[in-house]
Amino acid sequence: MKYLMLMVMLLFVCGTGVAQNVKKLQLSANVSESGCAGSGHTVALQASGGTAPYTFSWSDGATGSFREGLQSGTYTCTVTDGSGERSQKTFRFQPSPAPLQLQINKSRTQAGYQVTANVSGGKAPYAYYWFGPGLEAGKATSHAHTLSPGTYQLAIQDSNGCSSSITLTLEN
| pTM flag (> 0.75) | no
For 82-134, write each residue's pLDDT tens digit. 999 999 999 999 888 889 999 999 999 888 899 999 999 999 999 999 998 88
**Is the CATH code 1.10.274.10 the one for domain 101-170?**
no
The domain locations on the chain are 24-93, 101-170
Closest CA to 56 of 76, 82, 83, 78: 78
Q: Per this entry, what is the length of the chain? A: 172
Burial of 141-164, coded b for 16+ CB within 10 Å and e otherwise, reads eeebeebeeeebebebbbebebeb
- The answer to which of 7-11, 95-99, 158-162 has the lowest mean pLDDT is 7-11
Q: CATH second-level architecture of 24-93?
A: Sandwich (2.60)
